[in-house]
Amino acid sequence: MTLVESTEHDGVPLGDHAAGDVRRRFLRDKAAVVGLAFIALLLVLAVFGPWLAPEGLEERNIGQYRDGPSAEHWFGTDDVGRDVFSQVIHGARVSMKVGLLATAIELLIGVSLGAIAGYFGGWLDSLLMRVTDVGLSIPYLVLAVSIAAIYGRNENSVILVLGLTGWLGIIRIVRSSFLALKEREFAEAARSLGFSHARIIFRHLLPNALQPVIVYGTISIGAVVLSEAALSFLNVGAVRPTASWGLMISEAGSGSLANAPHMLFFPGLAITLTVLAFVFVGDGLRDALDPKLRGRE
């Protein structure tokens, strides 16, 4: 038995039996299962969207401008004749790419710095927390405008902005977990055996601190998708020929509410359902990974 395995009750479920319990609790949460199914659909659309969409990304229907939903165009057409349904499908790729990559960047930075701050403490902890405080005081929109001015408006700029600002939340969560875990008996035993700091952090402490990281990361993907849409709406994010749900809403404009509400409704609905799906899955994972629930069964 390793030192991590002896702390089964501290954090992430360990072993086949515990993993099975987590899976059963998650599957009993109907909202989480529905959210997971919707996310799976989004991933399929993100990968195979160009082949599944009825029309091409910039294909236009001459004479069919701002037409409402019909048998030919399920979600109607936009102001230049593009099929809105096809645009929504193409937009799934941008949202999933930005959501997954930006969240991966923020978790990589936040978990690493949080682990260092919580494990070593002292002046290093104080320095990292002050840097975090400064980062939290800078509006991410200002950073987004600055990066867009340097690197241009594209989805990579959005990924960079959201990834470099999103870690400010997770660092405190990981830090607090490490502050508690490093005082546990298994951590003291690892230090007494002469294990390196890197081994103690990544082999013994981090696996027991993953529960809040998994939940935070899942919910954060939905938040990133929403932020990407907001940046695109404000003309800081992606530009044509890239399809983005936020860009679609921005192109529709406020006048579409009266004349062509479908141009706003369908991309807005896609954003709403995506964010809700990740929130439902995050809540389901939080309940399934809760060690207190594990003791009731």
pLDDT tens column, 152-167: 777 888 888 888 888 8
Q: pLDDT under 50 in the chain at which residues?
A: 1-14, 294-297
Tally Cβ neighbours within 10 Å of residue 206. Answer: 23
Which domain CATH number covers 249? 1.10.3720.10
Report yes or no: 235 and 153 within 8 Å, Cβ to Cβ.
yes
Report yes or no: 279 and 17 within 8 Å, Cβ to Cβ.
no
Q: Residue 28 and residue 30: Cα distance in Å, rounded?
A: 6
Tally of domains within the chain: 1
Residues near 8 by beta carbon (within 8 Å), at least 6 away in sequence: 14, 15, 18
Long-range contacts of 285-290 (CB under 8 A, 24+ apart): 285/26, 285/32, 285/214, 285/215, 285/218, 286/215, 287/25, 287/26, 287/29, 288/22, 288/23, 288/25, 288/26, 288/29, 288/32, 289/12, 289/13, 289/22, 289/211, 289/214, 289/215
Tokens at residue 200, please?
A: 């103690």
What pLDDT, on the 0 to 100 scale, is given for residue 291?
56
What pLDDT, on the 0 to 100 scale, is given for residue 146?
78
What pLDDT, in 10s, does the model give residues 53-75?
888 778 888 777 878 888 888 88
Q: Look up residue 57 and give its amino acid.
A: L
What pLDDT, on the 0 to 100 scale, is given for residue 279?
92
Instruction: Give the chain's length.
Output: 297
Q: Where are the beta strands (DSSP E) in 150-199?
A: none
Q: Is residue 72 part of a domain?
A: no
Q: Is residue 253 part of a domain?
A: yes
What pLDDT, on the 0 to 100 scale, is given for residue 104?
94
Q: Is residue 32 part of a domain?
A: yes
Q: Is residue 159 part of a domain?
A: yes
Q: Is residue 67 part of a domain?
A: no
What pLDDT, on the 0 to 100 scale, is given for residue 273?
93
Tokens at residue 36, please?
A: 């997971």
Q: Is residue 221 part of a domain?
A: yes
Report yes or no: 49 and 90 within 8 Å, Cβ to Cβ.
yes
Q: Is residue 64 part of a domain?
A: no
Domain that holds residue 192: 22-51+81-296
What pLDDT, on the 0 to 100 scale, is given for residue 111?
93
Q: Find the distance separating the first CA and the last CA of the chain, reported in whole Å.
A: 24
What are the beta bridge partners of residue 8? none
Q: Is residue 71 part of a domain?
A: no
